[in-house]
């Protein structure tokens, strides 16, 4: 079996999620966005280039810096659109279809954005996780971390480390159940982020979508 030094966590799922956030921006009306509809997708693509080049060049600090910049940009854009949408509710001028479409796009964006943050921050981020033989300590207690070393070896999981899909699963559960399911949260920063994510999800689902359904 290949050792941990021969296996690095793939980055394309996280990059795809950020591109998806830029694509979801197109589903939100222009007056609820900062700048043109295509602006976020262009900015994400622009920042993605040095992020990938820095990693391929071995400059992990620069790669991490651009990774944080990407997350900050998509987070700020989501918060801006959500704020404008909430502010527009009392005017009763938005068609129900626009409310539903915008709320759905922001709900999915919320999942992708916070999954990116969990993936980027947990245990020092993907670059630091790649340096470890296996994942035994972090902000989230994954089920694989609770297994004994003998059991993990028998299951072929002795080199197990979480990937983006694992953090996407946590983010999805946080937005649907408003709590983690199979992964207890150990770190305070993770608890704060999950509370913020749950609040955003509750706002989009309980307030915006409900308002649109009532109008219908």
pLDDT tens per residue, range 51-92: 999 999 999 999 999 999 999 999 999 999 999 888 887 777
Average pLDDT of every residue of the chain:
87
Residue 163's nearest CA partner among 126, 123, 114, 197 is 126
- As given in the structure block, the two tokens for residue 30 are 């222009």
pLDDT of residue 158: 82
The phi, psi pair for 185, rounded to 5°, reads: -95, 125
What does pTM read for this prediction? 0.89
Higher pLDDT, 164 or 156: 164
Separation between Cα atoms, residue 65 and residue 73, nearest integer Å = 12
Separation between Cα atoms, residue 65 and residue 139, nearest integer Å = 20
Q: What is the mean pLDDT of residues 163-167?
A: 95
Where do we find the tokens 């060049």? 57
> Is the separation of the CB atoms in 27 and 107 below 8 Å?
no
pLDDT of residue 5: 47
What does the pLDDT look like over 101-126, one tens digit per residue? 888 899 999 999 999 999 999 999 99
DSSP type of residue 34: S
Separation between Cα atoms, residue 112 and residue 147, nearest integer Å = 29
Q: Hey, how many other C-beta atoms are within 10 angstroms of the C-beta on 161?
A: 22
Choice among 8-17, 53-62, 141-150, 184-193 with the minimum mean pLDDT: 141-150
> What is the widest separation between alpha-carbon atoms in the chain?
62
Choice among 50-64, 154-168, 176-190 with the minimum mean pLDDT: 176-190
Q: How does residue 21 score in pLDDT terms, banded at 50, 70 and 90?
A: very high
Separation between Cα atoms, residue 214 and residue 196, nearest integer Å = 26
> Is the separation of the CB atoms in 84 and 31 below 8 Å?
yes
To 10 degrees, what angle do helices 188-202 and 96-121 make? 170
């Amino acid at each position: 079996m290949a050792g941990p030094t021969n296996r690095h966590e793939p980055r394309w799922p996280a990059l795809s999620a950020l591109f998806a956030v830029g694509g979801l921006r197109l589903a939100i009306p222009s007056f609820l966005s900062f700048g043109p509809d295509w602006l976020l997708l262009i900015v994400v693509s622009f920042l993605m280039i040095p992020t990938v080049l820095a990693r391929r060049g071995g400059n992990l600090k620069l790669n991490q810096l651009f990774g944080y910049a990407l997350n900050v940009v998509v987070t700020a854009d989501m918060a801006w659109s959500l704020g404008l949408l909430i502010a527009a509710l009392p005017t009763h001028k938005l068609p129900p279809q626009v409310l539903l479409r915008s709320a759905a796009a922001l709900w999915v964006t919320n999942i992708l954005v916070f999954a990116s943050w969990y993936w980027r921050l947990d245990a020092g981020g993907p670059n630091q996780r790649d340096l470890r033989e296996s994942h035994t300590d972090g902000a989230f207690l994954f089920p694989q971390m609770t297994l004994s070393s003998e059991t993990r070896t028998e299951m072929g999981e002795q080199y197990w480390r979480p990937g983006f899909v694992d953090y996407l699963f946590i983010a999805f559960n946080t937005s649907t159940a408003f709590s983690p399911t199979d992964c207890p949260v150990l770190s305070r920063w993770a608890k704060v982020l999950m509370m913020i994510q749950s609040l955003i999800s509750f706002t989009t689902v309980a307030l915006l979508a409900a308002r649109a359904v009532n109008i219908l």
